[in-house]
Amino acid sequence: MGNASVTAERKNPHTKQVVETKLLKEEVIDPVKWIYTPGDGPHSAVAMTVGTQRNFGEFSIKAVVQLECDQNFNSMDKAAEIAFTKALEFINSGMQIAIQQGMVQG
């Protein structure tokens, strides 16, 4: 099982203080059968955080993806790859949402 979320943060350009934080998107990620076996076996959690900034740090987006996987190298490596790809996808879609909502200029 897993989840992903993308959050936007806008700062005052002069003081650099946060003036707005907004959750743009959330998603539950179904377990992927080749990284997760249901049951009582040993499991690991893989978390990936990816971010981007615009306008000299005045606007930033952060995506966090967490996946549960079997506790072996192959599953953990694949889970990290999936999490990174999903985080990049969320960064791109989050930026589009932020532009549509007027949080940042396109």
Type of residue numbered 33? K
pLDDT of residue 104: 80
Tallying the residues shown for the chain, one arrives at: 106
Give, for 90, the enclosing helix (H) or strand (E).
helix 73-100
Largest CA distance in the chain: 53
In this prediction, residue 55 carries a pLDDT of 81
Instruction: Supply the Cα-derived Rg of the chain in whole angstroms.
Output: 16
Structure tokens at 91: 């960064």
Instruction: Give the pTM.
Output: 0.84
Structure tokens at 1: 């099982």
- Per residue of the chain (106 residues), give pLDDT as tens: 799 999 999 998 888 899 999 999 999 998 788 898 888 788 899 999 999 988 877 899 999 999 999 999 999 999 999 999 999 999 999 999 998 988 887 6
